[in-house]
Structure 1
Amino acid sequence: MKAGKKMVEKPTDENASQPVTTNHPSAKEKMLRGSAWMTAGSVFSRILGAIYIIPWYTWLGKDSLAGNALYTKGYTLYSVFLMISIAGIPSAVAKQVAHYNAQNEYAVGQRLFKKSLLVMLAFGVIGATVMWLIAPLSFISLGEKDVIPVFRSLAVALIVIPVMSLTRGFFQGYQDMFPSALSQLIEQLVRIIYMLVTMYLIMQILHGNYQLAIIHSTLAAFVGALGGLSILIWYYWRKHAELRALALQSAGKLQVKDSKIIYDMLAQSVPFVLIGASTTLYNQLDYFTFKPTLTRFSNDSLRTINDLYAIFAGNDNKLIMIIVALASAMAATAVPLLSAAYTKKDQQGVADQIADALELFMIIMLPCSLGMAAVAKPLYIVFYQYNFTGIFVLSFSAYIALPIGLFIVLSSLLQGIYQNKRAVQYFLVGFLIKLLVQVPLTICLKAFGPLLATGIGLMVSNILMLRYFYFACHLDLNRLLGRFNQILIFSLLTFLVALVVIFIASQMLDLEFRLISFVVLVLAAGLGAFVYLYCCLKSRLADQVIGRRVAGLRKILHIK
């Protein structure tokens, strides 16, 4: 809050508080357009990240669950280092750049970007070195030698990814989400190509061991990062003249030292790091508690425990992260817009943007979450293979995606109005709740336990944040509850339609065959999506949340 206030008070000239250009789209239109790009990039990259599992999992053969467990363990530690290195950077840089741009101080924002590049490169090198060195330690590897080379192959990617994330945040500060979306997509595409090529060569051509194949699958993170960074460099080169023109037109009234710029960026990024790493820390707690808890309090074999971990932390997590990516896209778009409104002291604009972001979250996430729960059986079989436990855990995980996604959006909105400390406090309260219920729930519910503990912890944080927005920002709860009720009814109808299709198909067909499951999945998801879309368009709910542009879609579908 202090950092936000200090910056807001400096520019007082009316012209200095306005952007250079005129006739901007409204804040809501910017959020929708930005969310569309970020959603497209995030969702397509997540879908690619799920689709590759089909051949990747198949080529592992009898070692599929063991290989996936090793892969998941490697990424669990890597995710912590990744979040520490980059989690706060895109949002923090986007927030600061938008803050300066709102004051017509484009040159300051561009200087922030250039000075921060070296800082992020240093962070990356330090993070990579530390992860490489601690990989053999017993409390990190849990006594499993196979994970050590996996950790080290992932460490290399930490050198490149912080610079890539910083560049994405810079463009997001201009509400230009296209380069971030495109680089995400290219990064994922290059990564997957490398993973599949090496997996096929090692397992199918050379008949090697699955451990070597997993090492190359994790090394693909570095290869993909190079691809994503290349796109950003190309886009920056294309935009260089335009950025230079904006810098030359800057008001030049805000005198900020380089050290102050970097300090403010890092200070703003620390809460984003903690919040961005929240779901990773939740997963990390699962990693360190699940195996020891069941080893001590159950009669399950080590292989069974590892298989259960692979199911809920690996297989199902990859699928639910497709819909959680929707929330991340909305959050990335909302933060710079909210920061700009806050900088201009537009209280009504702040309240409206918070409400708009929550409505957009509800209209997208509710049907996606309930829909995934309904089609869990064919979905799991298509991506993996028939597994009774895996199917039911995926269905339960789909519900948990809602509090995860809501937390990402709410915490980002809270930081967008410079309530960084409060966001961290609410996260810590929720994490403490998860810590308290984690072991008892794991003993009682096994693979379902950590998921339920995550849902409980995040919902506590979500309630605290919603309460703050209601009292501090005068959030219109009546408006939100009215929209929520409509969206919930339509989402439940979608859920029932998809569930009925799955039930009828399972009575007539053997869904254990992947091709049959795929056809049933497309039919159930397609019919459910059509019902939801029809209801939203017919009731004019889509117009209220998304805007008048959906009227064209209503004409195409002949809905009056």
Structure 2
Amino acid sequence: MNEDVKLTDQMASEQSNAKRKMLQGSAWMTAGSIFSRVLGAIYIIPWNMWLGPDRLQANALYSMGYNVYSFFLMIAVAGVPSAVAKQVAHYNAQNEYGIGRRLFKYGMALMAIMGVVCAVILWIIAPYITSGDKNVIPVFRSLSWALLIIPMMSLIRGFFQGYQEMAPSAISQFFEQIARVIYMLAATFIIMKVSHGSYITGVTQSTFAAFIGALGGMLVLVWYFYRRKPELDRLVANSDNKLTISTQQIIKEVIRESIPFIIIGAAITIFGLIDQYTFFGIMTHVTNYTRTVQNELWALFSFNANKLVMIIISIASAMSITAIPLLSEAYTRNDKKALSEQTSDTLQLFFFVMLPCALGMAAVAHPLYVIFYGYDPVGIYVLQFSAYESIFLGLFTVVSAILQGVYQNKKAIVYFFIGMIIKLIVQYPLVAWLGAFGPLAATAIGMGVSSWLMIRSLHKMFHLNVRLIQARLNKMMIYALITFFIALLAVKVIYLFLPMDSRISAIITIIIAAGLGGYVYVYCSLKTRLADKILGDRVAGLRRRLRIK
């Protein structure tokens, strides 16, 4: 009887520890991603001002360059960092730290080779993938330099994540972004305001800043690695060393596990490339718009809105990265109860954060857009629509990561391709009907179908507590909608008294509206104890400070 009690207590302790690790990891990765994305959005304000009347053309050029670069980056990185994180966690759970270190060593060599190969290929084929705009050639070539460093940098991050250490990744992301933004703003100011140069040169140097940022992030990670090396060496020295795996087996294992991460990790980028290589053709066929007007429409949804919604999508990405090693550990132990609970916790945490963020951004889209880009009614509506779409993108990111974490790679790929086919089918009619909103709607539909198929598969495997998830999701949705309407009402009322196109008015409006909406969501979540169930008992301190009973 006493042994049963001890076993039950031990299991409860392990589950509590897993949840604590997930929340701590999510906190670090979310903080790093948000700071990085916010910094990456704030630079837009001076950047657009210095580019002057060419800003939309510059934004379109920047976006087209980054879409293709992101695809090459996915190939160069090849999913190896996530695969290494997953496999390192797998072997660490068996006290085989030595194998994880060898995975890291050979992974670094593979990343160095892949980076060089992809950089050379992008440089060479740049003139042949312009989508009708030759101005993008120097942009592609400036971005190829970053491919030399980022794959290795990503692998070091993956190695730390395999140890459930998220701080190095988060902090290096932040320093990477700081270095990138400082360089691109300095270069753009000198080119546009001092030398009165071309916006094409300004964009080219702004994209070359990715290489400068990568150097900054890499230096931070190398410092962390050598700081932690004595402890890592101690773990390797105390490994069981019962498993015998050859170098060839390790390389095969990394490649086999990385292929699904390439495809799924590139999902949002692939959808973006579908837009890039179909939007202009469809618009030319169904309208008489010039290429300049088409570029402006492209910039509205692919750059302007995308830069802002990626801030909240990054939250989902951060949580999904945290979930993979934890799920891999539970899968290695064949702990089905832990798998079910961790999957459920990850989904609930995603919706708890994502719903108020997405609906809140939609509510304050008007002042938010004015702050970053100036007043543009079409741009504001595109941002609102993109905010709703971000829920589907974020959900796909999380559930696809869960499937990969439990070694259901084939299912993740199949469901992604189903969503992509649906995207391709509805792309033409939606773009022809909705214009700049069409690609966003097609992406939401495709990602929504993929996500639904993945969640259904997870439920079949782990028998998720659907009633519990649904009950909590209903509360989250109600609180998020209340937040939305209060924030939207605040925006409408304030704009009865303040000018709609002023940045100062927009800043005042967003502080009041976002503050009111955010407080309401926090109050409702704490008052009903929903936050305690999702985030744990630590939120009780916040409840006391806010004097909520």
Range class of TM-score, shorter chain = over 0.9
> Which of these residues, 31, 40, 47, is aligned with residue 38 of structure 2?
47
After superposition, the C-alpha distances for 1:249-282 in whole angstroms (9 at most, x for unaligned) are: 1011011111111211111111011001000000
Say whether the 8 Å CA contact 1:87–1:277 is kept in structure 2.
Answer: no
Q: Does 1:129 align with 2:120?
A: yes
Q: Distance between the aligned counterparts of 1:518 and 1:299, measured in 2?
A: 38
- For residue 122 of structure 2, what is the amino acid of its counterpart? M
Say whether the 8 Å CA contact 1:330–1:409 is kept in structure 2.
Answer: yes
What is the correspondence of 1:525-544 to structure 2 with a 5 Å cutoff? Answer: 525-544=514-533
Q: Does 1:442 align with 2:440?
A: no
Q: Distance between the aligned counterparts of 2:512 and 2:337, measured in 1?
A: 44
Deviation at 1:143, TM superposition (A): 3.1
> Which of these residues, 97, 102, 107, is aligned with residue 98 of structure 2?
107
In the alignment, what sits opposite 1:186? 175
Deviation at 1:196, TM superposition (A): 0.3
Q: Distance between the aligned counterparts of 2:204 and 2:231, measured in 1?
A: 43
In the alignment, what sits opposite 2:4? none
Q: Distance between the aligned counterparts of 2:466 and 2:77, measured in 1?
A: 34
> Which of these residues, 60, 63, 87, is aligned with residue 72 of structure 1?
63
In the alignment, what sits opposite 2:83? 92
> Which of these residues, 133, 140, 157, is aligned with residue 151 of structure 1?
140
Deviation at 1:119, TM superposition (A): 0.6
> Which of these residues, 227, 231, 243, is aligned with residue 220 of structure 2?
231
- For residue 205 of structure 1, what is the amino acid of its counterpart? V
Deviation at 1:301, TM superposition (A): 2.1
Deviation at 1:76, TM superposition (A): 1.1
In the alignment, what sits opposite 1:402? 391
Q: Distance between the aligned counterparts of 2:476 and 2:285, measured in 1?
A: 44
Say whether the 8 Å CA contact 2:142–2:204 is kept in structure 1.
Answer: yes
- For residue 253 of structure 2, what is the amino acid of its counterpart? D
- For residue 489 of structure 1, what is the amino acid of its counterpart? I
Q: Distance between the aligned counterparts of 1:107 and 1:147, measured in 2?
A: 46
Say whether the 8 Å CA contact 2:95–2:239 is kept in structure 1.
Answer: yes
> Which of these residues, 539, 545, 548, is aligned with residue 537 of structure 2?
548
TM-score (norm 2): 0.97
In the alignment, what sits opposite 2:442? 453
> Which of these residues, 165, 176, 185, is aligned with residue 196 of structure 1?
185
Q: Distance between the aligned counterparts of 1:160 and 1:476, measured in 2?
A: 43
Say whether the 8 Å CA contact 2:15–2:338 is kept in structure 1.
Answer: no
Say whether the 8 Å CA contact 2:80–2:107 is kept in structure 1.
Answer: no
The percentage of counterpart residues that share the same residue type is 53
Gaps of 5+ in 1: 1-21
In the alignment, what sits opposite 2:275? 286
Q: Distance between the aligned counterparts of 1:168 and 1:426, measured in 2?
A: 27
- For residue 130 of structure 1, what is the amino acid of its counterpart? I
In the alignment, what sits opposite 2:341? 352
Say whether the 8 Å CA contact 1:39–1:330 is kept in structure 2.
Answer: yes
Deviation at 1:304, TM superposition (A): 1.2
> Which of these residues, 44, 50, 66, is aligned with residue 59 of structure 1?
50
In the alignment, what sits opposite 1:468? 457
Q: Distance between the aligned counterparts of 2:241 and 2:37, measured in 1?
A: 42
After superposition, the C-alpha distances for 1:523-552 in whole angstroms (9 at most, x for unaligned) are: 111111010000000000000010000001
In the alignment, what sits opposite 2:201? 212
What is the correspondence of 1:237-256 to structure 2 with a 5 Å cutoff? Answer: 237-256=226-245
Aligned CA-pair RMSD: 1.0
In the alignment, what sits opposite 1:164? 153
In the alignment, what sits opposite 1:332? 321
In the alignment, what sits opposite 1:18? none
Q: Distance between the aligned counterparts of 2:283 and 2:132, measured in 1?
A: 17
Q: Distance between the aligned counterparts of 2:542 and 2:110, measured in 1?
A: 47
- For residue 111 of structure 1, what is the amino acid of its counterpart? R
Deviation at 1:111, TM superposition (A): 1.1
In the alignment, what sits opposite 1:35? 26
Count of equivalent residues = 537
Deviation at 1:471, TM superposition (A): 1.2
- For residue 122 of structure 1, what is the amino acid of its counterpart? I
Deviation at 1:472, TM superposition (A): 1.3
In the alignment, what sits opposite 2:362? 373
Q: Structure 1's 452 and 87: CA in aligned 2 closer, same or farther, altered over 3 A?
A: farther
What is the correspondence of 1:501-520 to structure 2 with a 5 Å cutoff? Answer: 501-520=490-509
Q: Distance between the aligned counterparts of 2:450 and 2:18, measured in 1?
A: 27
- For residue 388 of structure 1, what is the amino acid of its counterpart? P
Q: Distance between the aligned counterparts of 1:89 and 1:476, measured in 2?
A: 33
TM-score (norm 1): 0.95
Deviation at 1:87, TM superposition (A): 5.5
- For residue 466 of structure 1, what is the amino acid of its counterpart? I
Q: Distance between the aligned counterparts of 1:412 and 1:68, measured in 2?
A: 31
- For residue 208 of structure 1, what is the amino acid of its counterpart? G
Say whether the 8 Å CA contact 2:172–2:221 is kept in structure 1.
Answer: yes
Q: Distance between the aligned counterparts of 1:377 and 1:266, measured in 2?
A: 46
> Which of these residues, 423, 430, 436, is aligned with residue 412 of structure 2?
423
2:242 is paired with a residue whose SS is: coil
- For residue 519 of structure 1, what is the amino acid of its counterpart? I
Deviation at 1:508, TM superposition (A): 1.2
Say whether the 8 Å CA contact 2:81–2:156 is kept in structure 1.
Answer: yes
Q: Does 1:266 align with 2:255?
A: yes
Deviation at 1:23, TM superposition (A): 8.6
In the alignment, what sits opposite 1:82? 73
After superposition, the C-alpha distances for 1:305-327 in whole angstroms (9 at most, x for unaligned) are: 11000000010000000000000
Q: Distance between the aligned counterparts of 1:323 and 1:24, measured in 2?
A: 28
Q: Distance between the aligned counterparts of 1:231 and 1:201, measured in 2?
A: 28
Q: Distance between the aligned counterparts of 2:386 and 2:227, measured in 1?
A: 42
Q: Distance between the aligned counterparts of 2:240 and 2:398, measured in 1?
A: 33
Q: Distance between the aligned counterparts of 2:82 and 2:542, measured in 1?
A: 33
Q: Distance between the aligned counterparts of 2:311 and 2:142, measured in 1?
A: 25
After superposition, the C-alpha distances for 1:223-263 in whole angstroms (9 at most, x for unaligned) are: 00010000000000000000000001101101111111121
After superposition, the C-alpha distances for 1:59-105 in whole angstroms (9 at most, x for unaligned) are: 00011111111111111110110111226222211100000000000
